[in-house]
Amino acid sequence: MTTVAEIELLLREALLALPPWQGVLVTITVSLLVAKGIELLGKTVIPHLTARIEGEVDDVIFKTIQAPLYVSVVLIGAYIATVPLGLAPTVDAPLLAGTLSTLTVLWAFTLTRLGRKVSKVVTNEREFDQTVVPIFQNVWTAVILGATIFLLLTLWQIDITPFLASAGIIGIVVGLAARDTIANFFGGIALYFDGTYAVGDYIVLESGERGRVEDISIRSTVIRTRDDMLVTVPNAVLNSARIVNESTPERERRIRLPVGVAYGTDIDRVEEVLLAEADAENLVLEQPHPRVRFRGFGDSALDFELLCWIGDPVLRGRATHEMNKRIYQAFTRESIKIPFPQRVVTMADEPPAAPVATPDSVVGDGGE
């Protein structure tokens, strides 16, 4: 089985067997033909083969790497063309390192650009993936940058041991200085993979603030409150806090409307009136059915609670307002009294009797 080293040796011997100008001409011609073949392949054959694949990810990948492939073939051909010239090792080694360095930088830029394009396409095709796009882009760019620097140092035979030692010290310093940023970064990753919430969800924070998630970045989450204010909360805080996501698993939410009626009221009639008003309100869903519960005997009233469902947690305040109006108007029409707390104070009719003197309290004259 022929190895790559053997093929390279045979190719070098074949080129050296030709006159220098012929070797250079043949190498450049072959490289240009191969590059042109790649260009034609990318414009005709590949689009035809990928037409059956759903989505645009494959199209973006091939379009992005087509030009770098063309340039890479030309650069490799240009370097191979120097073989027939018989350059000295002192010239050939730097030339090889320069060619490989150029290819490394070219493909690092291409892969970074490819990551951004693929992220954008995936975000458009799958809405839920937009929560992880900023994290993916930053991690992807950081990995490519680190690999590029390592390859460049290796190609130019630069000892990276001192850099690793310095990087360790610098990493500790940066880690201490940017611990909040790092905590927010990993907090964002944890929130995404845990599926705690997504853009568009309605959440309630541990502090009592509630609102719709507008954006999730690598550092923080932006929430739009009911007062139409944007609140930015660090991901590290959200990752360690108790969060109520009212948009999952379903957006329908139940509201509770407590009401009290006077003692002696027909409780069956109260239940009928409450259910009728719930059925008449457009914000209240028909399924699940509204229901009424007799909760107990209060100090001044019989305690009832109307339970009904709404289509979105954002509608809670409006639905409560409309239902309270309906209940009050209905109770007024039906002469159902809503009592208020009362206190009965009993006043004595006669003043308290004067204290009766005891024998011990009588003062004597001091003699027999």
- Measured CA to CA, the distance from residue 241 to residue 209 in angstroms comes to 13
Q: Are residues 131 and 201 in the same domain?
A: no
CA distance 308 to 299: 26
Amino acid code (one letter) for 231: V
Let me know if residue 366 belongs to a domain: no
Q: Which of 290, 294, 224 is nearest to 261 (CA)?
A: 294
Task: Assess if residue 132 is contained within a domain.
Answer: yes
Which is more confidently placed, 132 or 64?
64
Output the domain CATH number for residue 186: 2.30.30.60
Q: Do 102 and 214 fall into the same domain?
A: no
Provide Rg for the chain, Cα atoms.
Answer: 40
Domain annotation covers residue 290: yes
Inform me whether the pLDDT recorded for 133 exceeds 70: no
26-37: per-residue pLDDT in tens?
777 777 777 777
My answer on whether 205 and 306 are in the same domain is no
Provide the H-helix boundaries in the chain: 4-17, 20-40, 46-49, 57-80, 89-125, 133-155, 161-177, 179-194, 235-239, 267-280, 316-333
CB atoms < 10 A from the CB of 107, how many? Answer: 19
Based on the fold, state whether residues 201 and 295 are members of the same structural domain.
no
Spell 301-337 as b/e; 16+ CB within 10 A means b. bbbbbbbbbbeebbbbeebeebbeebbeebbeeeebe
Q: Cβ–Cβ contacts within 10 Å for residue 49, how many?
A: 12
Final residue belonging to a domain, choices 229, 245, 261: 245
**What is the per-residue pLDDT for 68?**
86
At residue 353, the pLDDT reads 59
Chain center to CA of 240? 15
pLDDT bin (cut points 50, 70, 90) of residue 128 is very low
Higher pLDDT, 283 or 3: 283
Q: Are residues 137 and 201 in the same domain?
A: no
- Encoded tokens for 206: 């541990």
CA distances from 216 to 88, 144, 163, 201 (A): 57, 24, 35, 11
Residue type, 115: G
> Phi and psi of 166, rounded to 5°?
-65, -40
Do 238 and 291 belong together in one domain? Answer: no
- 353 found inside a domain: no
What do you get for the CA distance between the two ends of the chain, in Å? Answer: 146
Q: Considering the domain boundaries, does residue 12 fall inside one? A: yes
206 and 149 within one domain:
no
The band of 225, judged by pLDDT with boundaries at 50, 70 and 90, is confident
Domains contained in the chain, number: 3
At 193-219, the pLDDT tens digits run 667 787 888 888 887 888 888 887 777
Going by the DSSP 8-state scheme, the letter that residue 289 receives in this structure is P
Query: Do 154 and 160 meet the contact criterion of CB atoms below 8 Å apart?
Result: yes
Global pTM reads 0.48
Nearest one of 132, 99, 128, 103 to 115, comparing CA atoms: 132
For 190, the token pair is: 């944890």
Q: Which residues constitute the domain of residue 192?
A: 182-245
Residues 6+ apart with CB under 8 A from 36: none
